[in-house]
Structure 1
Amino acid sequence: MDMSYLHHAGSAFATIFVVATCTMRTMIPLRVFGIMANVLLIAISIPTHNYPTMALHAVLLPLNIYRLRQMLQLVQDVKKSVNSDLSMEWLKPFMTKRPCKAGEILFYKDEKAEDMFYIVSGRYRLVESGIELPVGAIVGELGMLSPTNERTQTLECIEPGMVLSVSYSQVEELYVQNPEFGFFFLRLASARLFENIDKLEARLMKQDAPALPMAPQHA
């Protein structure tokens, strides 16, 4: 077989794949087409002895596969959280550690919101509602959904501990890369909002419940 013909034909197909990746707006199809282009260019490079091209795409291929697997796993974890315990463990790889001291205010009501927090240890309280947040809870996501991006409550640390933080811009990047992630993230955040509302209503009902009359004391 004419190697020059094979080279030109393969290069033409590879160019089509590369151009297609430029038209992709989301990360998963972009990675899929990138993998296909890597495999094709490696296959072309072997018979034509184009070793630099082969080496380049031999490096890019596992990277594209890893990123694709990472994004698919992220979407799967978000779906699982929506259908189970509303956990946001899947966000931890994208977050940074922040130690907190007792009495420290992590954010104030009505201030501009730029990040959300995952509670690793310690005790924290939403001041206005009096709700204490357990370890494993995420807080601050509502500011991202608010039209004004403002905090709806004040968060205070009442016992030293550690939180993980992630900026809204990082979450937005994940959404742009994969709209399916964004859809399930909104469902998850909405479910957590309704859960918080139910907790607050239950607490108000408990506070408003009339006290039972005490039984008369007999000497």
Structure 2
Amino acid sequence: MDISGVASDMSGLASGAGGLIASAFVVAGYTMRTMIPLRVVGIITNVVFIIYAMSHRNYPIVALHMILLPLNVYRLREMLVLVRNVKRSVSGNLSMNWLKPFMTERHCQPGEVLFYKHERATEMFYIVSGRFRLVESGIELPVGSIVGEFGMLSPDNERTQTLECVEKGLVLSVTYQKVEELYVQNPEFGFYFLRLVSARLFQNVGKLEAQVAALSGKSAS
């Protein structure tokens, strides 16, 4: 028996199997509908291709997947951290700080209107500094407030009040489209985001009821 021939055949079979496995993971990646499973499959695909290409001394393919591997790991971690932070907010203080990495800065001057009542809503804002007021109600929003998130869930996406800058400040903005993209990429994020917004809505309703009760008490006295 030609041992070298058998070894060569076994090596060829192993090589072919490696190629099939790598190809199978590529196909599996295209079937993924959400981001976290896609990234996991992508990481496995990168590892398989690195091993397969190394065995064939195909260094350009090795280099390609050595670049893609840390990118997939980073994006997977980013999404897992996002979901974890949203879960924490739902069970904690209802903060939306987790959304900051996806927001862009906007510097505002006194008298500048960020949006008008009845205007179509396309984004939400996080107040970093300065003073901002909801014109119709006269409510001044403190630093750390999120405003505009309910417009995303309203049937007509219409603003219910006007937001004006009273004192020079900085806000972070994120479009509803970006939030929707995060939802599509990871439905679990969408579920917890809806829970968070609902909790904030009930919290605001509770505050309004308390204010109405306080005003009624003053009127009665």
TM-score range, shorter chain: over 0.9
* Pairing 1:116–2:124 present: yes
Residue 26 (structure 2) aligns with: 18
CA–CA distance in structure 1, aligned partners of residues 215 and 85 of structure 2 = 37
Q: Secondary structure of 1:210's match?
A: helix
Residue 52 (structure 1) aligns with: 60
What displacement does 1:157 show? 1.6
Q: Secondary structure of 1:78's match?
A: helix
What displacement does 1:5 show? 2.4
- Aligned residue among 126, 130, 134 for 2:134: 126
Residue 34 (structure 1) aligns with: 42
Q: Secondary structure of 1:85's match?
A: coil
1:22 partner amino acid: Y
Which structure 2 residues correspond to residues 73-92 of structure 1 after superposition, within 5 A? Answer: 73-92=81-100
CA–CA distance in structure 1, aligned partners of residues 26 and 39 of structure 2 = 11
Name stretches of at least 5 consecutive residues in structure 1 with no aligned partner: 214-219
Q: Could you tell me the percent identity over the aligned residues?
A: 64
Q: Secondary structure of 1:200's match?
A: helix
What displacement does 1:131 show? 2.4
* Pairing 1:102–2:88 present: no
- Aligned residue among 153, 160, 166 for 1:158: 166
* Pairing 1:185–2:193 present: yes
- Aligned residue among 139, 149, 157 for 1:149: 157
Task: Give aligned pairs, total.
Answer: 213
- Deviation string 1:89-143 (CA, Å, 9 cap, x unpaired) is 1111111111112222211111100000000001112223332211111110111
Distance 1:170 1:73, change over 3 A: same
What displacement does 1:186 show? 0.7
Name stretches of at least 5 consecutive residues in structure 2 with no aligned partner: 1-6
Q: Secondary structure of 2:18's match?
A: helix
Residue 9 (structure 1) aligns with: 17
More helix by share: 2
* Pairing 1:209–2:217 present: yes
What displacement does 1:70 show? 0.5
CA–CA distance in structure 1, aligned partners of residues 214 and 140 of structure 2 = 16
Given that 1:128 and 1:154 are in contact with CA atoms closer than 8 Å, whether structure 2 keeps it comes out as yes
